[in-house]
Structure 1
Amino acid sequence: MNQDNNQSRRNFLKMGAVATAAFTIVPRHVLGGKGFLAPSDRLIVAGIGVGGKGDSDLRLIHESGKAEIAYLCDVDTRQAATSLKRFPKAKFYKDWREMFDKEHKHFDAVTVSTPDHNHAIQTLAAMQLRKHVYVQKPLTHDIYEARILTAAAKKYKVVTQMGNQGASNDGPRLLREWYDAGLIGDVHTIYAWTDRPVWPQGIPWSANKADVPKDLDWDLWLGTAPYKDYVEKLVPFNWRGWWDYGTGALGDMGCHLLEAPFSVLNLKYATEVEASVGSVYYDSFKRGYYPESCPPSSHVTLKFPKTDKTQGEITVHWMDGGIQPTRPEELGANELFGDGGNGTLFIGTKGKMMSNTYGDKARLLPLSRNENLNVAQKFARVPGQANGHYGQWVEGCIAGYGKKELSSPFEIAGPLTESLLMANLAIRAADVKRIDDKGKVSYPGRYRKLLWDNDQMKVTNFDDVNQFVKRDYREGWKLGEK
């Protein structure tokens, strides 16, 4: 009896200890209070280029509720001022390479919102450190760079997103559902247009050297680009119109306006391209020749091969500088074409549909077709739409590579960017200048269709423009060198 009582006592004490532990082991989120996130559910972010769009990117990433903005980097402390105030605990650097060297063990992901010419070198360096990346559009400055980043995302197994936030809008998903339902038949022609540029293009480089602002590290801003003396008003915005740094209206708006056609039709790589460009007149109406600057307007025609969504080839027209396609007959005289200055038009064998910038406000033509429209939803929507583009990336990073669907991972953004940059090849071909031994000037790239070998990444019938497929970096800068 005594032995049984002792055993019972021991069992009672053991069970009591287990019960006590059950009440004292409290989940960490309860201990932390409302809003607490375990470290495994929080993304630590470093931002490169944190002024302007970079600041809004970081703000919306932070507003996802699962990201901490821990490091900020910008070559210009004037531009960084808003982010520094918004994220006072974040550590600041001017040189992203120093930030990577000193802090790479302390963050999980990187945002890149710098001028186009430095996107690739900063993004690839981050991926080589196994960091997830969010990169502003266009993904890269050159075709070669886009191909490299697309492959690197898969190689390093990092979560990627390009900053064409319209890809997360409902509009592109509606267009896909309507098209898949056969409402406009087989699409064979696309038009996309913009009123950009809203910055100077088609002008000579300023001869007026200016003093570099004390808060700007001009050499770091130039990065991979050839060295030039600083000129006023180039920073923070007007660099877009210069080939050394920007990619013109196509680079600025093309991703926003052509993402929907790419997702609706499963477009990948174009096979041929041709362009006509607007001329400028300068000094007593003399025709301008300024090959360093993007033209004031252009019309580019791209051909894409048949996809699993089409019955034949697809022709895509791009227009900028205020040029627009002819209004569809189905659109009333006073009805808005796109959003006025920008838009995308799909022409099918049985009808037409269009959208605004960012794929927004998708509608069938004539507009009366949208009344009582009832097409089943096939594609999941992104909570928050365009603003949710950022949170979608944060969630994807926390989940890990391949675990969540994203709207614009590099596997989609890379081919889209390449096609836009291929269109720029045709625009730049118009300004390729030759002078023969008798001093006669010619422009052999004008009025020519460029044929593209996608595997070799080269134009096969006009070698002069292949120099723009992969540019030479300034000495001291190399892509992919750790």
Structure 2
Amino acid sequence: MKGKNTDNGSGFSRRNFIKGGAAAAAGFMIVPRHVLGRGFTAPSDKLVVAGIGAGGKGESDINNFYKSGNAEIAFLCDVDDRQAAASRKRFPKAEYIHDWRELLDKHAKKFDAVSVSTPDHNHAIIALAAMQLGKHVYVQKPLTHDIYEARILTEAAKKYKVVTQMGDQGASNDGVRELKEWFEAGIIGDVHTVHCWTDRPVWPQGIPWPSQKAEVPKELNWDLWLGTAPYKDYIENLVPFNWRGWWDYGTGALGDMGCHIIGPVFKVLELGYPTEVNCSVSTIYEGIFKRANYPDSGPVSSSVHFKYKGKDGKDIELNWMDGGIQPERPEELGPNEIMGDGGNGAIFVGTKGKMMCDTYGRNARLLPTSRTEQVKVAEKYKRVEGGSEGHYAQWVNACIAGHGNMEVSSPFEGYAGPLTECILMGNLAIRSFDHPVPNKDGDGHSFPGRGITLQWDGPNMKVTNFDAANQFVKREYREGWSLAKV
């Protein structure tokens, strides 16, 4: 099926989306076995899942849905036969399809929910199309590639009333709930500063797009893999992992790890949109004193500084560091104690003390760490059975229960969507900082975004003091692809 532009923007007919819209408006529907056909179990018994992106993290997600005991894997969809091989072997009865548009257009009556684990640039268009057909969706982090897309999926979750979950499994960890209980009990006082850091990227960044194209592997449908992204010739080692460092497809270190590290902070402090953000990035040189700028790729390292309004109206500063940069070590931490998990973590600084956690909000502790066992606070928030591993079963069971009948840890509306917007606002600052503009006399480039603290109007998704930055709020899709209206 060719990806030509249509009313819905993803290759479907208007007829199919009208039919799907009726199902979406009704929320979750119990479909009898005779409608599903032989080999499919009614969703009143088990959730019938279609996995779009069957390799890598997608394979892990699909396996975890199945391990819940309440899901059947009915369809596998991938553009790369090599990546899908393991899932196809494990689920031989699942029908295998290359094009997600064909899956949704021709087989939507045969499944209840969709798992989306593609590269970031295709998350939104797939998830929205599934939601408009009344399908529950589980989408890997970051929820979307662009701020605009995150807002659209948040609005779609509200309108279509399907169960949504982002794949940031740490949102289901006990540690996040412990941190929130300590904070709300006033143990560390009012939080005014937070430090978050990661040792990512562990893929190439800060490099130019290779000049040598490569032969497309016979198992890979390159045009479908590109999807919404601009057409470029295939290059070596881009798939299955190194796409993360290229802005056309990925969201860099902040996009990859921000949901796992900033996410617990967002949940504990109940943050909204940032009010401002500024950053600095690593500098690369070619030769002596000659800066090489590579706008196609994320930086080797960056430091991003957000400002929020807390619930009490006071400012909260959130500092992000990646590429191995770390904040100053807290004086309360012993000389042989690990800060965060070593490469990643978050530290909350309050008026009465500090608390810290690892990636995914794991291993929550007060500082000094001896306080962790000394301070006793009543359990206020129900734990997710299985913690981070239970994140998958939680979504499966919530889908079976129906929209609004069971809580999930990372719903698009109220959490995953706004969190993703925050994280991508950091990337907007990075790209604005490192975006070259030709000088008028043509003898070089300038970087007008440097040294500017961007003022952010969250409700309207707009930088108010540097208009050039707004080009990164919403990207242009490749011809033949567009995001449907909600």
Q: TM-score, normalised by structure 2?
A: 0.90
Matched-pair contact (CA < 8 Å) for 1:271–1:304: yes
Partner of 1:333: 335
**Counterpart amino acid of residue 422 in structure 1:** M
**Counterpart amino acid of residue 401 in structure 1:** H
Distance 2:179 2:168 in 1: 17
Partner of 1:11: none
Distance 1:202 1:39, change over 3 A: closer
2:248 aligned to 244, 248, 253, which one?
244
1:169-180 mapped onto 2 (5 Å cutoff): 169-180=173-184
Matched-pair contact (CA < 8 Å) for 2:134–2:162: yes
Question: 1:306 Cα shift?
Answer: 2.3
Distance 1:83 1:330, change over 3 A: same
Higher mean alpha-carbon deviation, 415-424 vs 448-457, is at: 448-457
Partner of 1:318: 320
1:360 aligned to 359, 362, 369, which one?
362
Matched-pair contact (CA < 8 Å) for 2:43–2:400: no
Task: Give CA-to-partner distance per residue, 1:188-216, whole Å, 9 cap, x none.
Answer: 11110000000000000011110000000
Partner of 1:415: 418
2:351 aligned to 346, 349, 352, which one?
349
2:104 aligned to 96, 100, 106, which one?
100
**Counterpart amino acid of residue 60 in structure 2:** S
Question: 1:80 Cα shift?
Answer: 0.3
Distance 1:386 1:265, change over 3 A: same
Partner of 1:10: none
State how many pairs are aligned: 445
Partner of 1:403: 405
5+ long unaligned stretches in structure 1? 1-35
1:104-115 mapped onto 2 (5 Å cutoff): 104-115=108-119
Matched-pair contact (CA < 8 Å) for 1:117–1:224: yes
Distance 1:449 1:221 in 2: 36
Higher mean alpha-carbon deviation, 190-199 vs 458-467, is at: 458-467
Secondary structure of 1:287's counterpart equals coil
Distance 2:190 2:63 in 1: 41
1:74 maps onto 2:114 in alignment: no
Question: 1:433 Cα shift?
Answer: 1.7
Matched-pair contact (CA < 8 Å) for 1:251–1:420: yes
2:383 aligned to 374, 381, 388, which one?
381
2:124 aligned to 120, 131, 155, which one?
120
Matched-pair contact (CA < 8 Å) for 2:52–2:116: yes
Q: TM-score, normalised by structure 1?
A: 0.90
**Counterpart amino acid of residue 292 in structure 1:** D
Task: Give CA-to-partner distance per residue, 1:15-45, whole Å, 9 cap, x none.
Answer: xxxxxxxxxxxxxxxxxxxxx9865121000
Partner of 2:225: 221
Question: 1:439 Cα shift?
Answer: 2.4
Secondary structure of 1:250's counterpart equals helix
Partner of 1:448: 452
Matched-pair contact (CA < 8 Å) for 2:303–2:322: yes
Task: Give CA-to-partner distance per residue, 1:332-379, whole Å, 9 cap, x none.
Answer: 122100000000000000000000000000000001112333211000
Matched-pair contact (CA < 8 Å) for 1:186–1:311: no
Distance 2:440 2:180 in 1: 55
Secondary structure of 1:120's counterpart equals helix
Secondary structure of 1:41's counterpart equals coil
Question: 1:393 Cα shift?
Answer: 0.2
**Counterpart amino acid of residue 415 in structure 1:** P
Distance 1:374 1:437, change over 3 A: closer
Distance 2:181 2:43 in 1: 39
2:282 aligned to 278, 298, 321, which one?
278
Question: 1:282 Cα shift?
Answer: 3.5
Distance 1:481 1:144 in 2: 12
Question: 1:382 Cα shift?
Answer: 0.3
Secondary structure of 1:279's counterpart equals coil
Distance 1:434 1:37 in 2: 57
**Counterpart amino acid of residue 240 in structure 1:** R
Question: 1:313 Cα shift?
Answer: 1.4
Distance 2:236 2:441 in 1: 39
**Counterpart amino acid of residue 142 in structure 2:** P
1:48 aligned to 48, 52, 75, which one?
52
Question: 1:238 Cα shift?
Answer: 0.4
Partner of 1:4: none
**Counterpart amino acid of residue 319 in structure 1:** M
Distance 1:442 1:101 in 2: 48
Distance 2:284 2:93 in 1: 49
Matched-pair contact (CA < 8 Å) for 1:37–1:66: no
Question: 1:284 Cα shift?
Answer: 6.0
1:301 maps onto 2:305 in alignment: yes
Distance 1:364 1:456 in 2: 38
Distance 1:37 1:78, change over 3 A: closer
**Counterpart amino acid of residue 223 in structure 2:** D
2:442 aligned to 435, 439, 442, which one?
439
1:86 maps onto 2:105 in alignment: no
Secondary structure of 1:371's counterpart equals helix
Task: Give CA-to-partner distance per residue, 1:415-444, whole Å, 9 cap, x none.
Answer: 000000001111001122222332252110
Higher mean alpha-carbon deviation, 204-213 vs 37-46, is at: 37-46
Question: 1:286 Cα shift?
Answer: 3.7
Distance 2:452 2:259 in 1: 25
Question: 1:318 Cα shift?
Answer: 0.4
Distance 1:209 1:39, change over 3 A: closer
Question: 1:177 Cα shift?
Answer: 0.6
Secondary structure of 2:96's counterpart equals strand
1:259-274 mapped onto 2 (5 Å cutoff): 259-274=263-278
Matched-pair contact (CA < 8 Å) for 2:50–2:75: yes
Task: Give CA-to-partner distance per residue, 1:79-105, whole Å, 9 cap, x none.
Answer: 000100111100000000001111001
Question: 1:390 Cα shift?
Answer: 0.3
Matched-pair contact (CA < 8 Å) for 1:430–1:445: yes
Secondary structure of 1:135's counterpart equals strand
Partner of 1:3: none
Q: Percent identity?
A: 68
Distance 2:235 2:437 in 1: 29
5+ long unaligned stretches in structure 2? 1-39
Secondary structure of 1:111's counterpart equals strand
Distance 1:339 1:449 in 2: 31
Question: 1:460 Cα shift?
Answer: 1.0
Secondary structure of 1:282's counterpart equals coil
Matched-pair contact (CA < 8 Å) for 1:172–1:362: yes
Matched-pair contact (CA < 8 Å) for 1:432–1:464: no
Distance 2:446 2:351 in 1: 42
Distance 1:42 1:295, change over 3 A: same
Measured on the aligned residues, the alpha-carbon RMSD in Å equals 1.4
Partner of 1:30: none
Matched-pair contact (CA < 8 Å) for 2:194–2:346: yes
Task: Give CA-to-partner distance per residue, 1:94-141, whole Å, 9 cap, x none.
Answer: 000001111001100000000000000000000000000000000000
Higher mean alpha-carbon deviation, 438-447 vs 298-307, is at: 438-447
